[in-house]
Each structure stands twice: as structure tokens, then as C-alpha cells.
Amino acid sequence: MGHRYGFLALLSILKYCYELGVKYVTIYAFSIDNFKRKPDEVHYLMDLILEKLEVVLREENIVKQYGVKIDFLGNLKLFPEPVRKAAEKAMAATAQNNGTALLVCVAYTSTDDIVHAIQGLYKEKQARIQQTAEGKQMGDDDEPVDCSGGSNLEEFSVSSADLERHMYFAGYPDPDILIRSGGETRLSNFILWQSTFCLLNNPKALWPDISLWHLVWAILQYQRVHPFFEKKQRL
């Protein structure tokens, strides 16, 4: 029952964010670690996600009313096929919306996000090195050909920007505020990479009880520390 009330709280917060001009809202809906829960509980949560996705796609609601764009971030391959297809359908149906973007982290952990980025970057570098080697092999007959597949240091170099291009959050700005309900002060393996200049707000209220007041208070706190974050980012 708590998860259903949590969904209603999400709709309310989404409405408030739209009215306040917040362009990006990210929720941690399902961690990869949640698959370790009891099978009955995991099955219930999968059914609930599927149910709510079908509601979003079928009915006139806040998503359509405010032109919300939905994007699911995480390893969707871990989900049952019906849930994965419903998520893909929701993303396709709202892709052209230009209101608030709702980023739903499912089958997600920050460590998996980083591993996923490293794997993507490795494949990119490997393909580039292969292309370089093939290009050398097709060189002029009068020139010596290096068939070793060797590459210069630049091709092997890696920057943080390179990794970010392959993360689930690629194309989206880093968050400004992270609201951790229930008074929790741990991030639970959530957006560890993206939260360098992020305000952690931890109201004692549980998620279903989060209200407009909690949201406004978090924004006021962020406005107070924003000059400090802005200065740190310029360093």
C-alpha cells in the first residue's frame, strides 16, 4: 500500500515542480539491489510498475496535461519483458513533450552506471583503434605498414567527460537538489557521480508524506548555498 501512496505523492510533486519551473525531476524507483528481495515482493513491484505505466499511457493525467517527458535510466534488460516494453512505449509516447522531464531510475545503481559507462567507452575506443589499424593496412604500397594495431597515447586517454557520454544520465544536467526522505543521510548508491555539487536535503517525512512545503524548503536551502556551489564549479 505504501508504494501506491508513493506514486500519488510523485504525481503531486511532479505538478508542483512544473508550476515552480523545475525542468528535471529524477526519482529512484527501483534499485538493482531490490531484485534481492523476496520473489513475491519483487513480483508485486513489477506488477505495480506495469500498472502505473499503463495508466500513464491510457488516461488523461498530469503527464499529458503538462507535457511531461518520461525517460527510464538503468539496465532495463533486467526487467521482465512486459515491463520493459511498457517503459519503452512510455518513452516513445512522451519523447516529443517539452515540459518537465521525469527521469525514472529503474534497475539502477550508481556503481552499475559507472561500469556501464566504462564498458561503453571501452567499446568505443576499441572500435576507433580497429579503424586506425585497418586504415594503416590499406595505406600506400610504397609506405611501410604497421599491422600491429598499435595506437598513440591520445587514443588510450580517458577523461571524465568521456565517461559521462556513456552514462545513463548522458545528455541531462547534474541535479541541484537531492531529497532523501525519512531523515536518511545515506545516498544508497544513487547518483554518486552526478552529485558532486548537489545539496542533500533529508526531511524526516517519509516519501508518501512529502508535500509542497518540503519541496519549497529544499529550494530555499539550495538558494542559500547556490553561490558556494557556483564558485566551486568554477575552480
Helices (H), ranges, the chain = 2-20, 39-58, 62-65, 81-94, 110-137, 153-156, 160-164, 212-234
pLDDT of residue 2: 64
CA 165-169-97 angle, 5° bins? 115
Predicted confidence (pLDDT) per residue in 179-208, tens digit: 999 999 899 999 999 999 999 999 999 999
98: its cell numbers: 517539452
Tell whether the model's pLDDT for residue 36 goes beyond 80: yes
Tell whether the model's pLDDT for residue 31 goes beyond 50: yes
227 confidence band (pLDDT: 50, 70, 90):
confident
Predicted confidence (pLDDT) per residue in 152-169, tens digit: 556 678 889 999 999 999
Determine the Cα–Cα distance for residues 138 and 235; give it in Å rounded to an integer.
46
Question: Per-residue pLDDT averaged across 16-26, rounded?
Answer: 93
Determine the Cα–Cα distance for residues 206 and 183; give it in Å rounded to an integer.
8
175 confidence band (pLDDT: 50, 70, 90):
very high
Average pLDDT, the chain: 88
Question: Per-residue pLDDT averaged across 213-234, rounded?
Answer: 89
234: its cell numbers: 568554477
Tell whether the model's pLDDT for residue 120 goes beyond 50: yes
Question: The pTM is what?
Answer: 0.86
pLDDT of residue 145: 47
Predicted confidence (pLDDT) per residue in 74-93, tens digit: 999 999 999 999 999 999 99
Least confident piece of the model among 100-104, 150-154, 173-177:
150-154
